C-alpha cells in the first residue's frame, strides 16, 4: 500500500489521511473474524443437531401410539395407557360372550367372558401397557357354560330297550358280555336344563352262525332236587363238563347244600323264578316279574352267596315290557334251541336222540332236574360223553355267552361324532414287561393299528401305583409325582389339573379296562418297543 501511486486523482482522495487506510484494514479484519465466529457457531449448532435428532427419534419411538383394531375399526393408543384404557379411549366396544345352559342355549346374552385382547394372535392382559405392543386386536368374549351337576350312570344295556341275540333267537343277552354303555347326565345349576351324553358301545356281530365255536350249554330247570341234581352233577363232573341249573326259589330252601355243590363244582346257578308262575298272564306287568325274580334271587344268594346272571322265565313266557325290565335289571334271558320235552317222560332213548339231533355249535339244551327224573339222568349218561367225544365244549351259560356273543368279534364305540371299531388282533400279540412275557392275558383289542392291553395286568407287572374305580370307570395312575386319570369312555386324559387328549379312548371289553399300549407307557414313563399289530409289545419300566 505504501508504494501505491496516487492514481485515483481528485481532490477528496488526495485529501484522505493514511489513518483511514488503517481503519479500513481493521474493519476488514473484524468482518473476517465475525464471519469465522459465525461459522464456528453454525458448526457447533449443526453438531448439537446431529446429537439431538437421534435423541428425538428415541423419544418419538417410546412415545409412539399403538394401533388398536376391533373388527374393521381402527384406533390409536397412547403408550402411557393400559390396554383396557386404550380400548375405552377409542369408544369401541367388544361384544362379550353369552352365558349358555348345558345344551348350548343362551341363558343370558352378554353374560359370558368379556372380550379378549390379543397381540399377534396371543391373548394379553387387559392391564398390560399398550406400548408393549405394536398392534392390539380384540376378539369377542368366549361363551360360558353354566355350572352343572354331573352324574355318570353305567348301563348294562348298551342301548336301552334293545337286546342282542344270536340269530336263532334263543338267548337274550342283557348286554353284549362285558360291554358297558356309559351315560353322563349334566343338570344346569341356573337353567335347570339337563343334557345327556352317551358313550354307546355295541358289539360287532358275527356275520354267520357258521363261525360259532363248538360249544353247547346243557341247562336243567325246576330244581334243585336231591337225587336228580346230584346224579347229573356226577355225570358232568366225570367228563369235565359244566351245566347251568335254573332253580326255583321255593326249592332252594330245602336244598341249600345242593345249590352250594353246584357252585363249588364250577357249574352255574341261575334264576327260574319263585313258584313257577306264568309271567305273561293277563295283568302281570314288569313289576310282577321283577318282584318275583328278586324274591328267588334273595334265597339263592343266601344259600350260595352268588348273584345270578341268568334268568329263564317259566314256560319261556314273558311280555316285551317284562323282558325290557329284566334285561335292564342286569339279567340275561336264556331260552333254548333244543327242547328235549323230558318232563313228559318220553323214554331216555328219545331224550338222548333229541339232544343229538339238535347238537350244533351254539345250542342251548333244555332239560329238567326238578323231581325224580331217571330218564333225563340216563339220557345225560349217554349224551354227555358222546358230545365231548364229538369235540363239543359243554359250558355254563355265562361261559357260553362269553364264547358265543363275546367271541371277540370286537366292539364298536361311539363317542360324539367319532366311531372306534375295536377288533381283536388277527394275530396273537405277546406282551412282555421287563423281559417277562405276561401269560394268559385278557383278549386285547386292536384299534386303528394300535393294541389295547388290559391296563391292570400291565400296570401290576410294571409295579406301578394305581387305583381302579369300578363305579366311575377310571384308572388313576401315579407316576413321578404326576397323577393321571384314565376314564374308560373318554379321549381326555387328565394329568393333575391339565388335560391331554389321547388318540384312542380307553375301553371296557369283557368288563376289563383296556388302554392303548403306548398310553400306558406314557403315563408310567415306561419305554415301549414295537407298538404295531401283530407281534410283540415290550415294556421296560423306568426303575
Residue 246 C-beta: closest distance to Zn ion, Å: 7
Q: How far apart are CA 155 and CA 185, in angstroms?
A: 13
Strands 492-495 and 474-479: unpaired
Closest CB to Zn ion among residues 248, 453:
248
Closest CB to Zn ion among residues 327, 334:
334
For 94, the grid coordinates are 367388544
Closest CB to Zn ion among residues 222, 401:
222
Q: Which of 457, 460, 508, 511 is nearest to 486 (CA)?
A: 508
One residue of 98, 146, 155, 221 binding Zn ion per CB under 5 A: 221
**Site mask for Zn ion (CB under 5 A), range 299-328, x = bound:** ---------------x--------------
Length of the chain, please? Answer: 543
Residue 310 C-beta: closest distance to Zn ion, Å: 13
Closest CB to Zn ion among residues 245, 539:
245
Region from 79-87, 176-184, 219-227, 300-308 binding Zn ion, contact rule CB under 5 A = 219-227
Cis peptide before 43 (omega within 30 of 0): no
Closest CB to Zn ion among residues 57, 341:
341
Q: Extract the runs of DSSP E, i.e. beta strands, from 34-121.
A: 66-70, 73-77, 99-100, 106-108, 116-119
Residue in the block written with cell 330244581: 223
Cis peptide before 275 (omega within 30 of 0): no
Strands 116-119 and 135-139: antiparallel
**Site mask for Zn ion (CB under 5 A), range 260-299, x = bound:** ----------------------------------------
| DSSP-assigned beta bridge partners for residue 183 | 153, 198
Answer yes or no: are the C-beta atoms of 74 and 67 closer than 8 Å: yes
Closest CB to Zn ion among residues 221, 489:
221
368 included as an active-site residue: yes
Closest CB to Zn ion among residues 198, 222:
222
Question: Counting contacts by CB under 5 A, is residue 342 touching Zn ion?
Answer: no
Closest CB to Zn ion among residues 224, 410:
224
Q: Which one from 368, 369, 407, 489 is the annotated catalytic residue?
A: 368
The CB-nearest residue to Zn ion is: 221
Q: How far apart are CA 526 and CA 464, in angstroms?
A: 10
Region from 28-36, 107-115, 193-201, 214-222 binding Zn ion, contact rule CB under 5 A = 214-222
| DSSP-assigned beta bridge partners for residue 129 | 82
Residue 328 C-beta: closest distance to Zn ion, Å: 23
For 101, the grid coordinates are 345352559
Residue 410 C-beta: closest distance to Zn ion, Å: 36
Answer yes or no: are the C-beta atoms of 397 and 370 closer than 8 Å: no
Q: Which one from 98, 221, 222, 369 is the annotated catalytic residue?
A: 221
Residue 343 C-beta: closest distance to Zn ion, Å: 8
Residue 366 C-beta: closest distance to Zn ion, Å: 9
Q: How far apart are CA 211 and CA 216, in angstroms?
A: 14
Residue 221 C-beta: closest distance to Zn ion, Å: 4
**Site mask for Zn ion (CB under 5 A), range 72-111, x = bound:** ----------------------------------------
Answer yes or no: are the C-beta atoms of 203 and 179 closer than 8 Å: yes
Q: Which residues have a Cβ under 8 Å from the Cβ of 441 and sit 6 or more positions away? A: 431, 453, 454, 457
Q: Extract the runs of DSSP E, i.e. beta strands, from 231-371.
A: 243-247, 268-271, 310-311, 332-334, 338-339, 363-368
Q: Which of 365, 371, 374, 394 is nearest to 238 (CA)?
A: 394
Residue 222 C-beta: closest distance to Zn ion, Å: 4
Residue 356 C-beta: closest distance to Zn ion, Å: 23
Cα atoms in the Cβ-side hemisphere of radius 13 Å centred on 155: 24
Q: How far apart are CA 111 and CA 286, in angstroms?
A: 47
Q: Which residues have a Cβ under 8 Å from the Cβ of 247 and sit 6 or more positions away? A: 222, 223, 224, 259, 269, 270, 271, 272, 296, 300
221 included as an active-site residue: yes
Closest CB to Zn ion among residues 342, 489:
342
CA distances from 147 to 23, 188, 240 (A): 103, 6, 58
Q: How many residues bind Zn ion (CB under 5 A)?
A: 3
One residue of 101, 222, 369, 401 binding Zn ion per CB under 5 A: 222
Q: How far apart are CA 152 and CA 539, in angstroms?
A: 33
Give the 3-state secondary structure of residue 497.
Answer: coil
Please report, as ranges, the residues that interact with Zn ion according to CB under 5 A.
221-222, 314
Catalytic residues: 221, 368
Amino acid at each position: 500500500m505504501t508504494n501505491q501511486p496516487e492514481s485515483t486523482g481528485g481532490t477528496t482522495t488526495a485529501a484522505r489521511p493514511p489513518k483511514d487506510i488503517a481503519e479500513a484494514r481493521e474493519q476488514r479484519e473484524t468482518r473476517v473474524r465475525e464471519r469465522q465466529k459465525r461459522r464456528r457457531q453454525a458448526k457447533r449448532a449443526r453438531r448439537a443437531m446431529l446429537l439431538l435428532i437421534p435423541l428425538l427419534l428415541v423419544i418419538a419411538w417410546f412415545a409412539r401410539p399403538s394401533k388398536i383394531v376391533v373388527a374393521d375399526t381402527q384406533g390409536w393408543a397412547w403408550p402411557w395407557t393400559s390396554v383396557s384404557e386404550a380400548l375405552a379411549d377409542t369408544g369401541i366396544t367388544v361384544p362379550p360372550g353369552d352365558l349358555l345352559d348345558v345344551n348350548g342355549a343362551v341363558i343370558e346374552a352378554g353374560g359370558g367372558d368379556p372380550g379378549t385382547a390379543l397381540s399377534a394372535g396371543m391373548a394379553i392382559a387387559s392391564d398390560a401397557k399398550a406400548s408393549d405392543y405394536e398392534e392390539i386386536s380384540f376378539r369377542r368374549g368366549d361363551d360360558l357354560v353354566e355350572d352343572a351337576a354331573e352324574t355318570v350312570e353305567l348301563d348294562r344295556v348298551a342301548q336301552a330297550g334293545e337286546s342282542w341275540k344270536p340269530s336263532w333267537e334263543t338267548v337274550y343277552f342283557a348286554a353284549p358280555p362285558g360291554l358297558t354303555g356309559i351315560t353322563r347326565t349334566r343338570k344346569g345349576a341356573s337353567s335347570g336344563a339337563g343334557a345327556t351324553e352317551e358313550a354307546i358301545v355295541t358289539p360287532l356281530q358275527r356275520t354267520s352262525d357258521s363261525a360259532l365255536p363248538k360249544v353247547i350249554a346243557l341247562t336243567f330247570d325246576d330244581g334243585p332236587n336231591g337225587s336228580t341234581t346230584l346224579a347229573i352233577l356226577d355225570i358232568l363232573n366225570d367228563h369235565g363238563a359244566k351245566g347251568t341249573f335254573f332253580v326255583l326259589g321255593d326249592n332252594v330252601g330245602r336244598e341249600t347244600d345242593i345249590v352250594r355243590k353246584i357252585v363249588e363244582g364250577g357249574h352255574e346257578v341261575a334264576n327260574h323264578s319263585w313258584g313257577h308262575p306264568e309271567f305273561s298272564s293277563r295283568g302281570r306287568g314288569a313289576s310282577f316279574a321283577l318282584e318275583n325274580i328278586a324274591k328267588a334271587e334273595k334265597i339263592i344268594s343266601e344259600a350260595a352267596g352268588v348273584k345270578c346272571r341268568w334268568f329263564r322265565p317259566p314256560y319261556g313266557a314273558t311280555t316285551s315290557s317284562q323282558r325290557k325290565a329284566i334285561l335292564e335289571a342286569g339279567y340275561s334271558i336264556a331260552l333254548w334251541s333244543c327242547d328235549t320235552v323230558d318232563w313228559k317222560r318220553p323214554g331216555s332213548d328219545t331224550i338222548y336222540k333229541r339232544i343229538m339231533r339238535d347238537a350244533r355249535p351254539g345250542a342251548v339244551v333244555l332239560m329238567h332236574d326238578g323231581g325224580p327224573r331217571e330218564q333225563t339222568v340216563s339220557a345225560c349218561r349217554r349224551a354227555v360223553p358222546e358230545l365231548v367225544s364229538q369235540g363239543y365244549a359243554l359250558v355254563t351259560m355265562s361261559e357260553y355267552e362269553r364264547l358265543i356273543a363275546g367271541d371277540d368279534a370286537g366292539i364298536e364305540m361311539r363317542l360324539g361324532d367319532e366311531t372306534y371299531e375295536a377288533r381283536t388282533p388277527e394275530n396273537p400279540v405277546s406282551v412282555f414287561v421287563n423281559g417277562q412275557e405276561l401269560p394268559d392275558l385278557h383278549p386285547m383289542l386292536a384299534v386303528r393299528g394300535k393294541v389295547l392291553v388290559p391296563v391292570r395286568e400291565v400296570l401290576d407287572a410294571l409295579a406301578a401305583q394305581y387305583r381302579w374305580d369300578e363305579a366311575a370307570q377310571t384308572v388313576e395312575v401315579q407316576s413321578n409325582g404326576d397323577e393321571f386319570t384314565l376314564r374308560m369312555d373318554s379321549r381326555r386324559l387328565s394329568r393333575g389339573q391339565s388335560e391331554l387328549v389321547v388318540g384312542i379312548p380307553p375301553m371296557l371289553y369283557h368288563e376289563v379296562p383296556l388302554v392303548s399300549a403306548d398310553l400306558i407307557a406314557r403315563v408310567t414313563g415306561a419305554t415301549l418297543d414295537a407298538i404295531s399289530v401283530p407281534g410283540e409289545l415290550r415294556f421296560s419300566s423306568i426303575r
